[in-house]
Amino acid sequence: MDQSWEELFQAAKAVQKGRSISKYVEAGGVAAAIRAKSGKIYTGVCIDTCSTLGICAERNAIFHMITEGEQEIDQVLAIMPDGRTGAPCGACRELMVQLMPDSYQEIRIMLDITKGKVVTLGELTPAWWI
């Protein structure tokens, strides 16, 4: 497997610290790492609230990337609470498509790191707004 995926996995694992923030908020059960086209890695964790005001780890990482002045995504990796990697939800996919409408199909997503299964966002989201 490409070493870049191992770097993303380790970056996400380093911030994955599932914890209760208050009786209404939990954070860190899911962690994500995004590699921008520049090569820089951005991380984020999920923040779950009782009133749907939370945010997914992938979008949190993307917002971190945007805050730092970048907007082009190359790779996405998310670690679930059980340690497996998985696909971004529909809201995360939608944000990535809207950020890169002309090239979102090229964003690579790690589905299963144990099997080295990588797909593109274009494969997961083949017909956006058609």
Residue 129 lies in a domain: no
Full residue range of the structural domain in which residue 72 is found: 3-124
Residue 33 lies in a domain: yes
Q: Helix, strand, or coil here: 105? A: helix
pTM here is: 0.94
Tokens of 86: 């998985």
Residue 16 lies in a domain: yes
- 72-118 pLDDT, tens digit per residue, is 999 999 999 999 999 999 999 999 999 999 999 999 999 999 999 99
Whether the Cβ atoms of residue 111 and residue 77 lie closer than 8 Å to each other: no
- DSSP H or E segment with residue 11: helix 3-15
Q: What is the 3-state secondary structure (H, E, C) of 53-103?
A: CCECHHHHHHHHHHHCCCCCEEEEEEECCCCCECCCCHHHHHHHHHHCCCC
Nearest one of 94, 76, 66, 2 to 32, comparing CA atoms: 76
Whether the Cβ atoms of residue 97 and residue 128 lie closer than 8 Å to each other: yes
**CATH number, domain containing residue 109:** 3.40.140.10
What total number of domains does the chain contain? 1
- 105-115 pLDDT, tens digit per residue, is 999 999 999 99
Question: For residue 130, what pLDDT band results from cuts at 50, 70 and 90?
Answer: low
Torsion of CA 106, 112, 58, 50, to 10 degrees: 150
Residue 116 lies in a domain: yes
Residue 130 lies in a domain: no
Residue 34 lies in a domain: yes
